[in-house]
Every structure is written in structure tokens, then in C-alpha cells.
Copies of this chain bind each other. A is one copy, B any other.
Amino acid sequence: MHDRVDLVKIYECLCDRTRLRLLNVLAQGPLCVCHFQEILREPQVKISKHLGYLRTRGLVAYERQGNWMVYELPAKPSRELRANLACLQDCARENPVFRRDLARLEKLTPKFAETSPCGCRPAAKTTAG
């Protein structure tokens, strides 16, 4: 089925600051690359590479929507992954960097709803009135 992700692989994915930030933001819902760029304020290569890293190790799923690549957490994460993502969530709650990212996400969500036809944010359900 969904490839077995063992513990060490999970921790390898978690031991980079950028990847932690990506996962933290992803916990709020699917998002596409350009939005990550805006939220983390990191260059495209960096975002894309780290998402690739997570992708090849099964920590994120992705789906193409036209030009956009929409990333999301796996639908059926392993027990280990679920536990560790929950733990990360817990730890991130008090961390200024993670909180800032989430604040930016919140702030940018309406803008994303307008500019991106990919519907990668739930709020993007506005039928472009």
C-alpha cells in the first residue's frame, strides 16, 4: 500500500528547519509551492527541493492542478508518522518561527483565494464573484 516509512526516515525528514516549517504549514491544509515561497520567504529552489525530499520519502503527497503543484500531508499516514506529526504540532505551538509562518498563512489566505486558481486553500472556494 502506501510505502512503509520507518522511524529513521521520518526523523531524517524532520531534522531540517525548512522541512519542519513546511510540515507545520501543511498541517493546516494543502498548499502549492508558490504559496510556501511567500509564507516561508525562501527561494523557489529551496522550497521545491525540500518538498521533493519529503515527497520521495512519503511524508507528503502531491497533485498537479494545471501549472500548480498542490502538496498535502498523506491521507493515510503510518502510526509512526501520525505520532510524530502530532508531536511536532505540539512543539511548534510555542515556537516563534512556526507561529509566524502560520500567521502569514492566515494573513495571505484571502489573497491566495483570489490569485490562485488551484483551490489549494479551502478558503479559495470563493466563486470569483
Contacts and interface: CB of A to CB of B under 8 A. Distances in A.
B20 A95 contact: no
Interface residues of A, number: 21
Interface core residue of A7, A14, A95 (most chain B CB under 10 Å)? A7
For this chain, the copies found in one complex come to 2
Nearest to A84: B87
A1 interface: no
A58 to B, nearest CB: 15
Nearest to A94: B79
Nearest to A12: B15
Given A8-B17, A11-B20, A14-B14, 8 more contacts: A7-B20, A7-B88, A8-B15, A12-B15, A79-B94, A80-B91, A83-B87, A84-B87
